[in-house]
Amino acid sequence: MNSPEVRTLLKAAVHDGNDGRQAGKQGELRRLGWMSLSALGRLRLAVDLVRHVFAEHTDLSSTNSSRSVRDAPADGFAGCCDTLAAELPAAILARVLGVHIRVAVQWQKASAGNWATIHQARLGSTEFKVIRPARPLAHAVLIDHDRHLDTYLDQDAAQRIGGLWKLAASSPRSLVHLPMRGNRGPSHELPEDGTRQLDLVLLHHSLQFAPSRWKEIRGRLGPGRPQTVTMPGAGHSDEAVIDHEARHYQENRDLFHQHLHADTLFMTGSAKVFRDTARHFFDVARNGPGYVPVHPSYPHFCTELHSNDGILGDAREIHIEYCDQWDE
């Protein structure tokens, strides 16, 4: 098999291997005996396919670990390789992939952070820094329903958006741009009347950014500079540090404000409100995949940025729903 064929097969194996529902790849999966393999056997086959593609792009046996990791193919396929690196101990990873242990360690360090692209755009005398996820948020949509907003996410998108939400808290001089408006929606039918899909921009209120400038900035963004950005995780004390009562004080300034321009929703807030609300996305990523299969009569796991939470200023509620079936 050539490289594109192996990539296609690996994606089928990773995402649809449990039942082989992708008709176009079902025959090839059967030919390899995928359906009859145990979980460990499937992992071994996936690793073999990973090795096949990586051999065409990198010298995995080299002790030059930084070169091997940096030159790896950077697309959705590489994301599942990062998952392997995050889940397996370095010694086992090195053994099953046939790589030097230094390469395995470096790969694990790289997979601990998510690749982002950093963009610079200048308008007049002002330079703007824009951060985007390097891998597309393929299974994520943001729907404008006029009176409220709906977000539909799979596990990967929810986890990464939670990290980007926290990144916005720690990057007060940057615009965090999440392109989503061109994505296909989940497989279940979405309401269509009076709706439209949006991109999302997260920004700190101290930037005092005018959304009317966004369309021109967006048009000037090039491919960007790849950079490893450590995405903050869910943590263990998010809920404990939130003073829910203080949110309802008149003096509370830790509020989200929203603006809509150029098919983009701008979420402007303080570092604190971004940190405190990222947990909603981590909750969907952590609990959604386990909830939906065991509740077939009502496979609906969701959370919400609600008006009663004391976090919304001039802003609409956002409903956040986990979805595991998506149109391709």
- Angle of CA points 221, 224, 256, to nearest 5°: 65
What's the pLDDT score for residue 234?
59
What's the pLDDT score for residue 260?
96
Asked if 124 and 226 sit in the same domain, the reply is: yes
Asked if 294 and 316 sit in the same domain, the reply is: yes
Asked if 48 and 66 sit in the same domain, the reply is: yes
108 lies in a domain? yes
Does the pTM exceed 0.75? no
For residues 253 and 270, is the Cβ–Cβ distance under 8 A? yes
What's the pLDDT score for residue 99?
67
What's the pLDDT score for residue 33?
54
Asked if 231 and 244 sit in the same domain, the reply is: yes
Phi, psi dihedrals of residue 31, rounded to the nearest 5°: -60, -35
327 lies in a domain? no
Please count the structural domains in the chain.
Answer: 2
Is residue 308 over pLDDT 50? yes
Q: Confidence band (pLDDT; 50, 70, 90) for 5?
A: very low
328 lies in a domain? no
For residues 168 and 109, is the Cβ–Cβ distance under 8 A? no
Domain boundary among 47, 79, 112: 112
Asked if 150 and 9 sit in the same domain, the reply is: no
What's the pLDDT score for residue 237?
39
Asked if 297 and 264 sit in the same domain, the reply is: yes
Asked if 251 and 102 sit in the same domain, the reply is: no
Containing structural domain, residue 49:
3-112
Asked if 39 and 152 sit in the same domain, the reply is: no
What's the pLDDT score for residue 215?
95
Asked if 82 and 131 sit in the same domain, the reply is: no
Residues 155-191: tens digit of each pLDDT? 989 999 999 999 999 999 999 999 999 998 887 666 5
279 lies in a domain? yes
Asked if 82 and 97 sit in the same domain, the reply is: yes
Asked if 153 and 211 sit in the same domain, the reply is: yes
> Residue 194: which of 163, 150, 232 has the closest Cα?
150
Q: Confidence band (pLDDT; 50, 70, 90) for 316?
A: very high
Average pLDDT over all residues of the chain: 74
